[in-house]
Structure 1
Amino acid sequence: MNLKRSAAMFGVLAAGAMALTACGSDDNSASGTSVDTSASNAACEGKDTLSAAGSSAQKNAMDAFTSTYIAVCKDKGKTVNVAYNPSGSGDGRTQFIAKQIDFAGSDSAIKAEQAAAAKERCAGNDAWNLPLVFGPVALAYNLDGVDNLTLNGEVIAKIFNGGIKKWNDPAIAALNSGATLPDQDITVIVRSDSSGTTDNFQQYLTTASKGAWTQGAGSDFVGGIGEGAKGSAGVAQAVAGAPGSITYVEKSFADQNKLKAAQIDSGAGAVALTEDSAAKAISGAAFKTEGVGDLTLDLKSIYGTTEAGAYPLVLATYEIVCSKGYDADTSAAVKSFLTSAANEGQAELSAQGYVPLPATVKDKLNASISAIG
């Protein structure tokens, strides 16, 4: 998944999942920022360079975070850098477990056997999932004459598992009173590669479709239909060139390809995809555990929202860190960088197509970052 890119930025992202740039680590030491860093609480302590890898969806966000962090620490007389490789969520988790990087970016929380292996990597301490980057996912479509398409969870599920095949199907027409829907086949475009965006989209369908989606979730598309394209850029470009098509893709890619995005009606009226509507859904997020520490989200609290004005199809990306078990220099640097990223680092995310952290999430995140040992 990936989020907004400045034209050039997202061209880089294009190749991978949302904000992906090539697959090598990035040296951001020359980056600049326009963010006011004077009030930062980042201590700029610990080792000078952190290493991380994983989700391509957060690549542009990591670039922005790193630029800001460099500026923060420069003001405090220290030169720092964060080398982030957008190699994919699975690879990030694997490298983290193997102690090849300091923290991982992942579109899914680390769990089960991987969580047990991460605990060993963290000297017997739990690894924490800290949600730092949120990005809305668009239902991007190409349909002449239909500029304000509305869908709901049940209809979306039936489109993506083949239960609805025509754009003028009565179920779509019922949600789009007054629109002229063509008697045209729906061409479904899906990710051909394993993707956190696919996993989250299918989790959304499982939650919001009222039983219409029974195929399950996972990083590979399991709907049984559709034409595959690689990466977020690939599916967006495919829809742009195929009248009658639809896909799920990060909003930034939809914007870059000038694609229309469907509104979603979760029961309280149609909601367009905007930063505010996505933030409203995120603000209502619940966590699987209470208190300070691991902040794995209960995604059903987002995907199943029926709150008026809330857009539910949002991708969360975690930073996976050791709660304890780092050496002192690494622990200090991880805490310092994440403190900056969770606060002044959020200032440039809107321009990248991400949704800055709502206060309800930011407060919990800052408490957990402070508790890293």
Structure 2
Amino acid sequence: MKLNRHSRMATVAAIGALSLTLAACGSDNAVEDDAAGSTPDAEQASTLSGQLEGAGASSQESAMQAWIAGFQSQNPDVSVAYDPVGSGGGRTQFLEGGTQFAGSDAALKDDELAQAADRCVSGEVAELPLYISPIAVIFSLDGIDSLNMSPATVAGIFDQKITNWNAPEIAAENPDVTLPDLAITPVNRSDESGTTENFTEYLAATAPEAWPHEASGDWPVAGGQSAQGTSGVVQTVTDGQGTIGYADASKAGSLGTVAIKVGDEYVPYSPEAAAAVVDASPRAEGRPEASLVVELDRTTTEPGAYPLVLVSYSLACTEYESSEDATLVKAFYSYIASEEGQQAAAEAAGSAPISDELRTEALAVIEAIA
């Protein structure tokens, strides 16, 4: 049976209430579930101690640094570490039991969900969309800060069919820009990447004739340049001239960026434009109750929407073998989902804070961790 969004919320909330009644682990430090998404008070926080290990999406790195700093300031006896090894590596470490939590820019695949059923004792995996950010198409061209491009133009560049910066396709969309007669050097991720999966999913959905490849976390086109992680791609684009890549917008820095065509307008990236797409998109069906995976509408023509968006999931188990692990993960994720935590990420990484409705859903899942 498939549940709609509201019935899923009710079910998860009921599970959370039952778990808190029957299981003492974590209940002493539970976050008060209110509209503000408040975090534990100082007296409760001071009782926490232990170590949390996480790994995963490099897109979350700036936000994670802010989350760890904010959480540890309230809980000085807790040590939290996060290795931005990439989504694929983070999922592997988490599913093999090497970390208590993980970050992934892509939802778990069917075989990974089966593996999670074993890893999470008698519980299930939680996939919480707590980091929402645009993916920026970044480039390095002297004297040019921004360009307009349709999905077909972006796809043609990264499929290496459009090979020069003054190509007719680019010139037609940027009549007021003097484009150089310079070869284009596309830069992609060398590692399995959720950012890559989101980017290729966008190209496949919006420009299928220009992008004849399936969505994948592994880059499907040979040639060009490649680099490890978000920071590697950004550095490679920065060090070149005529280079173009894709990265979490928090890392775009002073590089040039592309406004992508949505309907009849060109929309630059922004947290607000990314959040508009997420809030308008439905939940994926047929997943575990604690999985709040979003089925993004990449082909939207909604004015002001930016569909090249990355939703990065915070992965956890709803049940751990260790009560200490359950308590610490529960407290840390409650902070991440709170208004305070989301604002910290917005300030550090330029991400879009989640809506109050999504926060309510996420906190219901977090409360069920035991």
Fold similarity call, TM over 0.5 = yes
TM-aligned CA deviation for residue 281 of structure 1: 2.5
Structure 1 residues 68 and 220, CA, compared in 2 at 3 Å: closer, same or farther?
same
- Runs of 4+ aligned residues of structure 1 deviating over 4 Å after TM superposition are 41-47
Give distance in 1, aligned partners of 2:246 and 2:347. 21
Are positions 1:368 and 2:368 aligned together?
A: no
Give, in angstroms, the shift of residue 325 of structure 1: 4.5
List alignment gaps of at least 5 residues for structure 1.
Answer: 1-36
Match of 2:347 in 1: 351
Instruction: Give me the CA root mean square deviation.
Output: 2.7
Is 2:36 the partner of 1:40?
no
Matched with 1:328 is 323
Q: Residues 326, 46 of structure 1: CA spacing in aligned structure 2 closer, same or farther, 3 A cutoff?
A: farther
Instruction: Kindly provide the CA deviation profile for residues 150-196 of structure 1, in whole angstroms up to 9, marking residues without a partner as x.
Output: 01211111111022222233322332233333343322222233322
TM-score (norm. length: structure 2)? 0.80
Kindly indicate whether the alpha-carbon contact (under 8 Å) linking 1:195 and 1:220 is maintained by their aligned counterparts in 2: yes
State the alpha-carbon separation in 2 of the partners of residues 322 and 298 from structure 1: 22
Seen in structure 2, the aligned counterparts of structure 1 residues 242 and 51 have a Cα distance that, compared at 3 Å, is closer
Partner of 2:291: 294
Q: Contact conserved, 1:282 with 1:358, CA < 8 A, in 2?
A: no
Contact in 2 for aligned 1:134/1:354 (Cα 8 Å): no
Report the CA distance shift for 1:310/1:38 in structure 2 as closer, same or farther (over 3 A): closer
Match of 2:269 among 259, 266, 273: 273
Residue 105 of structure 1: aligned partner: 103
How much does 1:203 deviate?
1.4
- Residue among 205, 221, 224 paired with 1:223: 221
Whether the 8 Å contact between 1:153 and 1:210 is mirrored in structure 2 is no
Query: How is 1:160-239 mapped onto 2 (pairs within 5 angstroms)?
Result: 160-239=158-237
Asked whether the equivalents of residues 268 and 307 of structure 1 are also in contact (C-alpha less than 8 Å), the reply is: no
What is the rounded CA distance, in whole Å, between the counterparts of 1:146 and 1:85 in structure 2? 34
Q: State the TM-score, normalized to the length of structure 1.
A: 0.79
The aligned counterpart of 1:26 is none
Report how far residue 119 of structure 1 moved.
Answer: 0.4
TM-superposition CA deviations, 1:205-237 (whole Å, max 9, x none):
111214321122322211234222333333323
2:264 and 2:358 mapped to 1: Cα distance? 24
Aligned to 1:140: 138
| Structure 1 SS opposite 2:213 | coil
Q: State the match for 1:72 in structure 2.
A: 74
Q: Tell me which residue corresponds to 2:306.
A: 311
**For residue 21 of structure 2, what is the aligned residue in structure 1?**
none
Q: Secondary structure at the match of 2:170?
A: helix
1:277-322 Cα distance to aligned partner (Å, 9 max, x none): 22322332322039962111213x2x33221112222222212111
Q: How has the CA–CA distance of structure 1 residues 369 and 169 changed in structure 2, closer, same or farther, with 3 Å as cutoff?
A: same
Of 307-316 and 140-149, the range deviating more from structure 2: 140-149
Cα distance in 1 for residues equivalent to 2:58 and 2:146: 30
**Residue of structure 2 in register with 1:115 after alignment:** 113
1:337 to 329, 332, 339: 332
Alpha-carbon distance between aligned partners in 1 of 2:37 and 2:74, rounded to the nearest angstrom: 7
Secondary structure of residue in 2 paired with 1:115: helix
Q: Secondary structure at the match of 1:297?
A: coil
Q: Name 2:23's counterpart in structure 1.
A: none
1:6 is matched with which residue? none
**Partners of 2:359 and 2:173 in 1: how far apart?**
36
The letter of the residue matching 1:40 is: T
Deviation at 1:39, TM superposition (A): 4.8
Q: Structure 2: how far apart are the matches of 1:188 and 1:291?
A: 38
- Shift of residue 326, structure 1, vs aligned partner: 4.2
Paired with 1:309 and 1:291, the residues of 2 have a C-alpha distance of 32
Query: Residues of 1 paired with 2:37 and 2:313: CA distance?
Result: 27
Conservation of the 8 A alpha-carbon contact between 1:200 and 1:315: yes
Structure 2 partner of 1:23: none
Change in Cα spacing, 1:316 to 1:228, as seen in structure 2 (3 Å) is same
Which protein, 1 or 2, shows the higher relative CO under an 8 Å CA cutoff with sep ≥ 6? 2
The reply on whether 1:284 has 2:280 as its aligned counterpart is yes
Counterpart CA distance in 2 for 1:51 and 1:332 is 14
Maintained 8 Å contact 2:283/2:295: yes
Gaps of 5+ in 2: 1-35
Q: Distance in 2 between matches of 1:230 and 1:98?
A: 23
In the alignment, is the contact (CA less than 8 A) between 2:250 and 2:351 conserved in 1? no
354-363 or 214-223, which moves further after superposition? 354-363
Mark the CA change 1:287 to 1:169 in structure 2 (over 3 Å): closer, same or farther. same
Among 39, 48, 51, the alignment partner of 1:49 is 51
Q: Which amino acid aligns with 2:244?
A: I
Q: 1:141·1:259 contact (CA, 8 Å) conserved in 2?
A: yes
Question: Are the counterparts in 2 of residues 54 and 106 from structure 1 also a CA contact under 8 Å?
Answer: yes
Secondary structure at 1:149's aligned position in 2?
A: strand
Q: Which AA in structure 2 matches 1:172? A: I
> Measured at CA, do residues 240 and 61 of structure 1 come closer, stay the same or move farther in structure 2, by a change above 3 Å?
closer
- Name the count of aligned residue pairs: 329
Helix, strand or coil: the match of 2:276? helix
8 Å contact 2:56–2:102 — kept in the other structure?
yes
Partner AA of 1:365 in structure 2: A
